[in-house]
Structure 1
């Protein structure tokens, strides 16, 4: 982010500028991350970090709705990707009562 009182043009001072001195975006971030990982002998991608972020949120009990808001996805996409990571935690949220079907008829 830029300072609140900074100018709105592209030459503005950024608190955390990209190496090019501009705003971080998905293109320059991914390229710089690939280069840093290559130099370190790692094969992680920005998608790996993104998935780790979502996974950690899910494992720490953050709702799928909140995860979807933080990650810019729909709740359905987050459910497909992250709900299965903590099935025992999700089962604790729902209580089922045994029903004797023969008695209820």
Structure 2
């Protein structure tokens, strides 16, 4: 296992991963501090209203966000590999329609 740390690519991977981990920790601490300042500054009623608005926005975003590319990769890619071009067209058409409907709904 010592020879792993002699590899420049592995050390670069560890260094970049540590940057990502530290930035996540800093972002979490900053988020908690932001909540604390907002709670103190707004008071109980306004802070509750802020939490309700934020929760509603996240729920609406989660309901209206579809990952239609997964449909194309999974079913369209399979159909394309088998040479079934009509199935590929129908899967991409359905994904496009899903995107349009979710965009209009949002």
TM-score, normalising length: structure 1: 0.25
Question: Which is bigger in relative contact order (C-alpha 8 A, separation at least 6)?
Answer: 2
The structure whose residues are more often helix, as a share, is 2
TM-score, normalising length: structure 2: 0.25
